[in-house]
Amino acid sequence: LVEGLKELTIEDPTLSLKIDEETGQVLLSGVGTLHLEIATWMLKERTKLDFTVSQPLVRFRETVRASSQTFEGKSPNKHNRLYISVEPLDEETIRLIQLGEVTDDQDPRDRAKILRERAGWDTDEARGIWTVDEQYINVFVDKTTGIQYLREIRDYIIQGFRWAVQAGPLAQEPVRGIKVILHDAVVHEDPAHRGPAQIMPAAKNAIMAGILGGKPTLLEPMLSIEAKTTQENIGSVIGVLNRHRGRVIDMVQSEYMVTIKGEIPVIESFTLSDELRSATAGRVFWSLQFSRWSPIPENMLVDMVMKIREKKGLPKEIPRVEDFISQY
């Protein structure tokens, strides 16, 4: 199937092929619905394979909008306790991680200096960073002092943190833009009672509770759009964007054309090509590229979470804090 798709993209340069690393989907992009229908028909005729064509799945991110209280995460044997809170990561820190100026394997002193000078971090907090999750943009900070045996379980706590941010509590989407803080810990003296099977769930459950306690929300991917059209079609283009929760950021007028710059959610963009052409009788040229992650409108949040949970076969109830901190 993939080989057949590759042959199609060689023959037709307006087709592009990509395999999504997060969802495992084979994504075929073209210049419109009809173009893709013809391409998939040709693929079936050539390969004699039966396959399903669907709209791409859109990956979201989970985050928090407020600082949570401190939650106690207990190990399954109840001999270890971790006291953890979660709060939003500031935009400058997120930017520094995205640009690769703050990394996980960086010298801690250099990293602390950058965060202190450019993102306004407290010196002690910046020095207490245990790990930076560069994939989903999260940070784990240790604020404890003088805890016995904490060094021995540090790697297990970090593994629990990475486990938690891979799939958040709302809809098991990756977590983005949170700062996880370890305030205190009680660690059993016997190594047999503080292994990874005990510490990792304790860390994960406290983080999950912290996310739910920090006004959680979903982030959706946004596309920036730049559309060029004639003056008489401005209203038509803006109308299409408005119907799809898009917004106009800027308009630049030249002698014969108007350039409309704006944003539109990825999940609303699947029929954009056909609608723009139809609304302007083909008198529009546009380009799309990823812009940023943006919070989903509050009035859509619960409905979107439930739709994602249903697609994944998850229970229809959104988890509560008590589901994680009263587990054992």
pTM of the model: 0.84
Segments making up each domain of the chain, as ranges: 2-47, 61-213+319-325, 220-296
- Whether residue 206 contacts residue 324, with contact meaning beta carbons closer than 8 Å, is answered with yes
Residues 6+ apart with CB under 8 A from 143: 124, 125, 128, 181, 182, 183
Which of 46, 26, 6, 286 minimizes the C-alpha distance to 38? 46
May I ask the CATH architecture of the domain 61-213+319-325?
2-Layer Sandwich (3.30)
What is the Cα–Cα distance from 104 to 122, expressed in whole angstroms?
Answer: 18
Question: Tell me, what's the pLDDT at 27?
Answer: 79
Q: For the chain, where are the E strands, in sequence order?
A: 16-19, 26-29, 61-64, 71-74, 81-88, 129-133, 138-142, 178-186, 216-229, 247-253, 258-265, 284-295
DSSP string, 120-185: ---HHHHHTEEEEETTTTEEEEE---S-TTHHHHHHHHHHHHHHHHHS-TTTSPPB-SEEEEEEEE
What is the Cα–Cα distance from 7 to 128, expressed in whole angstroms?
Answer: 52
What is the Cα–Cα distance from 162 to 139, expressed in whole angstroms?
Answer: 10
**Residues paired with 222 in a beta bridge:** 265, 292
Question: Tell me, what's the pLDDT at 72?
Answer: 94
What is the Cα–Cα distance from 323 to 137, expressed in whole angstroms?
Answer: 26
What is the Cα–Cα distance from 321 to 328, expressed in whole angstroms?
Answer: 13
- Whether residue 91 contacts residue 177, with contact meaning beta carbons closer than 8 Å, is answered with no
Question: Tell me, what's the pLDDT at 320?
Answer: 92
Question: Tell me, what's the pLDDT at 327?
Answer: 40
- Whether residue 301 contacts residue 217, with contact meaning beta carbons closer than 8 Å, is answered with yes
What is the Cα–Cα distance from 216 to 285, expressed in whole angstroms?
Answer: 38
Rounded to the nearest angstrom, the gap between the alpha carbon of residue 203 and the centroid of all alpha carbons in its chain is: 21
Question: Tell me, what's the pLDDT at 123?
Answer: 92
What is the Cα–Cα distance from 181 to 87, expressed in whole angstroms?
Answer: 8
**Class of 220-296 in CATH:** alpha beta
Superfamily the domain 2-47 falls into: Elongation Factor G (Translational Gtpase), domain 3 (3.30.70.870)
What is the Cα–Cα distance from 267 to 273, expressed in whole angstroms?
Answer: 13
Question: Tell me, what's the pLDDT at 328?
Answer: 33
Largest Cα separation within the chain, whole Å, is 78
Task: Supply the Cα-derived Rg of the chain in whole angstroms.
Answer: 24
Sequential pLDDT tens for the chain (328 residues): 678 888 888 888 878 887 776 666 777 877 656 677 788 888 888 888 887 787 767 889 999 999 999 999 999 999 999 999 999 999 999 999 999 999 999 999 999 999 999 999 999 999 999 999 999 999 999 999 989 999 999 999 999 999 999 999 999 999 999 999 999 999 999 999 999 999 999 999 999 999 999 999 999 999 999 999 999 999 999 999 999 999 999 999 988 899 999 999 989 988 888 899 899 988 999 888 889 999 999 999 999 999 999 988 899 899 999 989 854 3
Q: At 200, which amino acid appears?
A: M
DSSP state of 106: S
Domains 2-47 and 220-296 belong to one CATH topology: yes
